[in-house]
Structure 1
Amino acid sequence: MKTRNLLTPLFASVLMTFGAAQAQADNVVTLRVHHFLPPSSNTQVKFLEPWCAKLSAESAGRLKCQIYPAMQMGGTPPQLFDQAKDGVADIVWTVPGYQAGRFLVSEVFELPFMGISGEKSSRALWTYATKNATDEYKGVRPLIFHVISGMALHTTKKQIKTMADLSGMKLRAPTRLATKMVAALGATPVPMPMPLVAESLAKGVIDGAMMPWEVVPTMKAQEIVKYHTETDPSLPLLSTTTFVLAMNPAKYDSLPPELKKVIDANSGADVSAWAGKVWDDATHTGRQSGVDHKNVFYTVPADELKGWQKASESVATEWVKEVSAKGYDGNKLLIEARALLAN
């Protein structure tokens, strides 16, 4: 009887501890985060994982992320946006421009020689997109807008030094406007998402690729290409790509107010600028992979690039016409975007 009496409070204590742990587990919200790059990518290691860690820390462990890299939840990169919209994933990181023509207003930042650094351009993009492109993002809740810190040209058999060198080359282009730019410069554009680039280079489907340094080591592209062509850093970026971290609205609405505040605190202009800086910082690491592999580098000087700028002016002119045909003031939007970048 004495033993039984001693065990009763101990048993009650165990039950209470178990109940408290179960209640805490029941209060944890797991967010399914889907993206198209490998788990070793800069995107996951330096951007998504730290961002998710902040959500967990600031929510006292009540917000957790389950990250699914490399399209592990199924589908293709162009389908990611609608996966967030339809609730297949809770949060996605994607390139809106993978769906050509759907995000006309926000793609202004992808015009040739438009951007500056990833950090500054990303802050400008948040301000611009949340004011002018809200219709394009109906059905999702944008958390972060950012751009990468520019593109370099990576080729397998031929070094690109002048615009004439581009003639006849099959060059990967990441977005609709990059495709137009590549064509304007005299090359044959081959649009394709990033996951297909390495194999296409290795098999000779393309002669080179327009892509950021950040993904070069992730795709092991430095082992496939031999030449890297960069542009004079005193001029705007050759090209860039717009990204969005977007959340399913129903998932956001299902959160209690205190957890919504955590999501809100990790969204917006400042966080977008941080995301852009992540890509600025990754440029140095990515570039080093080409150096270590003893590849050949060339920087196109400003005098030569003026011809590239002139040849690609038609891309901006066409964009203004296309956006204006949809009922927007394309010229006004272009001026606004450039002003935000200048500031």
Structure 2
Amino acid sequence: MKSTRNLLVGAALSAAIALGVANDAEARTKLKLSHYLPSVHGIHTDFIVPWTEQVSQCSGGEVEFEVFPAGTQLGNVARQQEQVVAGVVDIAHGLHGIPRGRFPRTSLIDMPFLTDDAGAATHALWQLLPDVLAEEYKGLKVLALHAHNGGLLHTSQKKVETMEDMKGLRLRTPSPAVSDMLSFLGATPQGLPPGEVYENLQRGVLDGTVFPWDPVKSFGLNEVLNYHLELGAYTVSFFFVMNERSYARLSPKARACIDQYSGDALIPKFGDWWDAWDKPGREQAIAAGHVITKLSDAERERWREALQPMINAYIQKVKSEGVANAEEIYRLMQKKIAEFKTAR
């Protein structure tokens, strides 16, 4: 009888231990986070990795992360949006313009001469998300929307100073709006992921690219470039989003931790981050003896006036593709950017 009782007690203890292990395993959630940039980029080192650490620490280790940057099986720039919508990854950071056409409202921020300030563009996107842009993020929890500083024109063999110098150049483009801008100026836009630009410049397939300074360094492009025009004529926007089902499966505590370190906590940081990320690329170009030219005020005004018909036509194209209030969204972006600049 005693032996039977001991066996029962032992079995109960074993079951309790097993249940405890199972509960502990269930309490810990590993989330997959993907992005398309190399692991040396500031978005990875200063933004994404610290964000995962903050959320994990806040949750007491309940949430853990596996990050997939460029070069991994989930780091393809063209697949970030579809991966997170499908739940292949739980969280993704990607470009609104690749693949083109998926975020027509949000991508109006990429229009020429709307802003050259990462902080202003980021502020505008975040302010307009709830009432104006939310339709484009169905099935997703938006953790942040942001944009980079004004992009430059970088070329390998030809120095560009005027609109006329753009004629015939084969240039990598990041978004539909920038593609239309380049075409209107006489260049031939080439849609390529950032990671493919180096090889195509090296082979002479491209004459140049439009980028802010930071990816020039991150992707090693100063090795195959010689000329840089500080154009500041456009910006490009990004999403940082989570699958809604993945978010809903988390405990209230874990969801609160994600909320605490996302959204309003992230948005004010992007302007300073981009300033810091841009600086090494420019310094590297100077050290390499490259020619850096600033667009003159008079020439900049020429570009602005010349591109106005393209801007009007692009807004009408977005409108014809189903965004009935495209003009209103564009005006609201102008207003929010002006508010940001006034507040500083």
Q: Same fold (TM over 0.5)?
A: yes
Tell me the distance in 1 between the aligned counterparts of 2:210 and 2:116: 17
Percent of pairs identical after alignment? 28
TM-score scaled to structure 2, two decimals? Answer: 0.88
1:314 aligns with 2:306: no
Partner of 1:337: 333
Tell me the distance in 1 between the aligned counterparts of 2:284 and 2:188: 27
Shift of 1:263: 1.0
Tell me the distance in 2 between the aligned counterparts of 1:272 and 1:314: 32
Distance 1:189-1:24 versus aligned 2 partners, 3 A rule: same
Partner of 1:240: 235
**Structure 1, 295-304 or 320-329: larger mean CA deviation:** 320-329
Q: How many residues align?
A: 324
Distance 1:212-1:116 versus aligned 2 partners, 3 A rule: closer
Distance 1:108-1:263 versus aligned 2 partners, 3 A rule: same
SS of the equivalent of 1:30 reads strand
Give unpaired runs (5+ residues) of structure 2. 1-15, 340-344
Partner of 1:45: 45
Partner of 2:98: 98
Give unpaired runs (5+ residues) of structure 1. 1-15, 232-236
Corresponding letter in the other structure for 1:123? H
Deviations 1:303-341 (CA, angstroms, capped at 9, x unpaired): 111111112212321232123331522221111110000
Tell me the distance in 2 between the aligned counterparts of 1:241 and 1:130: 20
Tell me the distance in 2 between the aligned counterparts of 1:245 and 1:59: 20
Q: 1:295 aligns with which of 290, 295, 302?
A: 290
Tell me the distance in 2 between the aligned counterparts of 1:169 and 1:324: 29
Partner of 2:178: 178
Shift of 1:20: 7.6
Shift of 1:224: 0.8
**Structure 1, 314-323 or 260-269: larger mean CA deviation:** 314-323
The 8 Å contact of residues 34 and 91 in structure 1, kept in 2 or not, is answered as: yes
The 8 Å contact of residues 28 and 63 in structure 1, kept in 2 or not, is answered as: yes
The 8 Å contact of residues 115 and 240 in structure 1, kept in 2 or not, is answered as: yes
Partner of 2:68: 68
Tell me the distance in 2 between the aligned counterparts of 1:40 and 1:19: 42
Partner of 2:276: 281
Tell me the distance in 2 between the aligned counterparts of 1:48 and 1:133: 23
Shift of 1:296: 1.3
The 8 Å contact of residues 118 and 273 in structure 1, kept in 2 or not, is answered as: no
Shift of 1:22: 7.8
Partner of 1:305: 300
Shift of 1:60: 2.2
Distance 1:75-1:49 versus aligned 2 partners, 3 A rule: closer
Tell me the distance in 2 between the aligned counterparts of 1:184 and 1:23: 61
Distance 1:281-1:17 versus aligned 2 partners, 3 A rule: farther
Matches within 5 A, 1:86-165: 86-165=86-165
Tell me the distance in 2 between the aligned counterparts of 1:240 and 1:21: 50
The 8 Å contact of residues 90 and 242 in structure 2, kept in 1 or not, is answered as: yes
1:267 aligns with 2:253: no
Distance 1:260-1:161 versus aligned 2 partners, 3 A rule: same
Shift of 1:19: 9.2
Tell me the distance in 2 between the aligned counterparts of 1:295 and 1:25: 55
The 8 Å contact of residues 116 and 235 in structure 2, kept in 1 or not, is answered as: no
Partner of 1:324: 319
Tell me the distance in 2 between the aligned counterparts of 1:284 and 1:273: 19
Partner of 1:12: none
The 8 Å contact of residues 112 and 239 in structure 1, kept in 2 or not, is answered as: yes
Shift of 1:89: 0.5
Tell me the distance in 1 between the aligned counterparts of 2:116 and 2:224: 28
Distance 1:304-1:249 versus aligned 2 partners, 3 A rule: same
Tell me the distance in 2 between the aligned counterparts of 1:187 and 1:337: 27
The 8 Å contact of residues 120 and 273 in structure 1, kept in 2 or not, is answered as: no
SS of the equivalent of 1:209 reads strand
Matches within 5 A, 1:184-223: 184-223=184-223
Shift of 1:174: 0.8
Deviations 1:14-46 (CA, angstroms, capped at 9, x unpaired): xx9999888655422221111111111222111
Tell me the distance in 2 between the aligned counterparts of 1:117 and 1:276: 7
**Structure 1, 173-182 or 327-336: larger mean CA deviation:** 327-336
The 8 Å contact of residues 111 and 315 in structure 1, kept in 2 or not, is answered as: no
Tell me the distance in 2 between the aligned counterparts of 1:340 and 1:218: 31
Shift of 1:239: 1.0
The 8 Å contact of residues 323 and 329 in structure 1, kept in 2 or not, is answered as: no
Corresponding letter in the other structure for 1:318? A
